[in-house]
Amino acid sequence: MDESAQYQAFAEAVSAPDLDLARVALTMALPEYPDLDVPEHLSRLDRLAERAGEAAGTEDSAYRRLACVDYVLFKQEGFKGNEDDYYDPENSFLNRVMARKRGIPITLSVLYMEVARRVGLDVDGVGFPGHFLVKASCDGQEILVDPFHGGDILSPADLQSLLDKLYGGRLQVQPEYLSAVSPRQIVQRMLNNIKLIYANRQDLKRCLRVVEQLVILNPDDAEQVRDRGLLRLRLRDGAGALTDLERFLELAPDSGSAATVREQIERIRKH
């Protein structure tokens, strides 16, 4: 699949009326893995869910189904958080998480959500500060699950302990920390994670591909349009950079970086 087709597949997935999170997460990986077989990976998720459903048997209980998702993913398959190499880019791509059975909180949560959804569970992602979680509704009760740590069920005390570990006691658990986030927000957070990893590695070409997807996801996101322009400039695409930076000024003329962008535009025009 060529680059244009890769971006088109992602654009079609994110524009679907009922966004399929697994499909979007897989098409997100196409620029990095152009030979990725998206339907086959979706079928693998189906098969994991079938095994969880078979383990649940005839007991039609949300708690039972949730326990069986945990059992299949973490006991039988051995999925777990990659604590040894947390910032490995492969942890951020669902296809590689499925292959290596290692990931970061958000990709393991997407895996968990997609398998749980396939067995009829009502599940949402939770953008808990510094550590993505999953929230399942079981008979009217909300259960918080940590896929990064083997599907642990978290109590209020566990949540505060997690915050203390991440922020040194500076934060207290607030109700809004446990709010569900939309699939589009999850996609944006996944892409931002990958963008940051590549930016820190100074991998400009890969970083540009991710920013391209962020702009597809939200064409009027001024910050991403600006960043795409600056990356294009560093990669010697002056025409593309000029188009993006001018668009940024249209979207955010009063931004704190507007003056710097105007200077960049003048330099590009001179050359």
| Measured distance CA(120)–CA(109) in Å, rounded | 16
How confident is the model over 84-97, as a mean pLDDT? Answer: 97
Residues in CB range of 32: below 8 A, 6 or more apart? 89, 93, 206, 209
Locate the domains of the chain by residue range: 3-181, 183-270
Q: Which residues contact 76 (CB under 8 A, 6 or more apart)?
A: 51
Q: Residue 186 is encoded by which pair of tokens?
A: 């999850």
Phi, psi of 270 (to 5 degrees): -65, -30
Name the token pair of 229.
Answer: 């322009």
With H, G, I as helix, E, B as strand and everything else as coil, classify residue 153: strand
Pairing type for strands 133-138 and 80-81 reads unpaired
Q: What is the pLDDT of residues 30-68, one digit of tens each?
A: 999 999 999 999 999 999 999 999 999 887 789 999 999
- What mean pLDDT value characterizes the chain? 96
Token pair 């970061």 is at which residue? 104
77 pLDDT band, cuts 50/70/90, is very high
> 3-class SS at 114?
helix
Q: pTM of the full predicted structure?
A: 0.95
Please report the pLDDT score of residue 161 as a whole number.
95
Kind of pairing between the strands at 180-181 and 152-154: unpaired
Q: Which residue has the higher pLDDT, 208 or 271?
A: 208
Task: Report pLDDT digits (tens) over 186-233.
Answer: 999 999 999 999 999 999 999 999 999 999 999 999 999 999 999 999
Both structure tokens of 144: 């918080």
Which residue in 80, 78, 66, 71 sits closest to 144, CA to CA? 66
Mean pLDDT of 74-92: 97
Residue 240 three-state SS: helix
Does domain 3-181 fall under CATH 3.90.25? My reply is no
Q: Which two tokens stand for residue 238?
A: 């002056």
Q: 183-270 maps to which CATH number?
A: 1.25.40.10
